Amino acid sequence: MNHASPTDRFSTPAYRLNEQETTYQAEIILPGVARENLEVRLEKDVLHLTGKRTAYPETWRPLHREIPSANFRLGLRLGREVDSSRITAELRDGILKLALPKVIPAIPVTRAIEVN
Amino acid sequence: MGSVSLKHTMQTNHTILPSRFTFNQLDQVLNRLWGETVAHTAVTQPFPTDTAVPVDLHEDQTHYHAHFDLPGVRKEELSVKIQKGILEVSGTSQNGQGNYSQSTSFKRELLLPEDAVSDDITARFENGVLHLAVAKATAPQPKTITIN
């Protein structure tokens, strides 16, 4: 039986990145990955992502396979302009949407300083 | 199943739109291998997930199971039809927003095995994967031919 999802095999998921005015957006294609089997972890400036596909019951006999059974792994290095404290993630219908907000530039404040 | 050997005739008619590559070669491979060994050797290369619909087929004692990888497709964009023993999964999916909006159509057909009960199908869509469970007929149905 070679159809059990091997936990030690990983592939890089397909993903899309796009930039908007205040945020970067990443869409990572993760079909078959349930929320509880997805781990997103920020380590220094790298966002690590590991997703495990739901395996088929072992009693099922495979007749034909096209869907790659490997699990997903991806590391995204974030630039300095990403505010890592405000990253949000949403998993829906097999796609993980990450919003990576840009650091809000400090607004230069002009202020008169009183001289005593 | 009795003395009749179970034929796995779940063939695939690939009519995926838009398609980045043709499936003719794949179909040939499938037709040749469709038998005991097809499951392990037919296709191992990854499919472009945004255009093609890869399918896994399994069976257990009571059902045939078909899984379709459809990441990013919403449940309401999906259509599953059965006609004359052919199962059709199709739909049009909208991606992106505004000027970047893009729609992708897909369609995949499977010819059901002879012992599949086409009015006993359950469908579940979860995490971008459509799972169809098709019941197997409990006993082989012998065809009686009336002699006039």
> Which pLDDT tens digit goes with each residue over B111-139?
888 889 988 999 999 999 999 999 999 87
**Entry pTM:** 0.70
- Of B2, B8, B37, which is closest to residue B112 (Cα–Cα)? B8
Q: Give the span between the Cα atoms of A10 and A48, in whole angstroms.
A: 13
| Positions in chain B whose pLDDT score sits under 50 | 1-50
pLDDT (0 to 100) of residue B113: 87
- Of A78, A84, A76, A77, which is closest to residue A28 (Cα–Cα)? A76
pLDDT (0 to 100) of residue A102: 93
The CA distances from residue B145 to B70, B113, B142, B148, in Å, are 44, 22, 10, 9
pLDDT (0 to 100) of residue B100: 62
φ and ψ of B8, to 5 deg = -100, 90
Is A3:A62 a contact under the CB 8 Å cutoff? yes
pLDDT in tens, A3-21: 444 456 899 999 988 889 9
Is B133:B127 a contact under the CB 8 Å cutoff? no
* B80: closest CA of chain A, how far (Å): 17
**Across all residues in chain B, what is the average pLDDT?**
69
Contacts of B38 in chain A (CB under 8 A): 63-64
Q: Give the span between the Cα atoms of A65 and A67, in whole angstroms.
A: 6
Name which residue leads in pLDDT, B97 or A27. A27
Contact check, Cβ <8 Å, B40/A65: yes
Contacts of A63 in chain B (CB under 8 A): 8, 10, 38-39, 57-59, 64
pLDDT (0 to 100) of residue B18: 32
Ramachandran bin of B61, using left for φ above 0, alpha for ψ from -120 to 50, beta for the remaining angles? alpha
Strand partners, A90: A97
Q: Supply the ipTM of this predicted assembly.
A: 0.81
Name which residue leads in pLDDT, A38 or B98. A38
Name which residue leads in pLDDT, A51 or B13. A51
pLDDT in tens, A81-114: 899 999 999 999 999 999 999 998 777 778 888 8
Residue A101 at interface with chain B, using a CB cutoff of 8 Å: no
* A36: closest CA of chain B, how far (Å): 11
pLDDT (0 to 100) of residue A94: 95
DSSP secondary structure letter of residue A102: B
* A72: closest CA of chain B, how far (Å): 13
**Across all residues in chain A, what is the average pLDDT?**
89
Contact check, Cβ <8 Å, B67/A67: yes
pLDDT in tens, A62-78: 999 999 989 999 999 99
Q: Give the span between the Cα atoms of B121 and B136, in whole angstroms.
A: 10
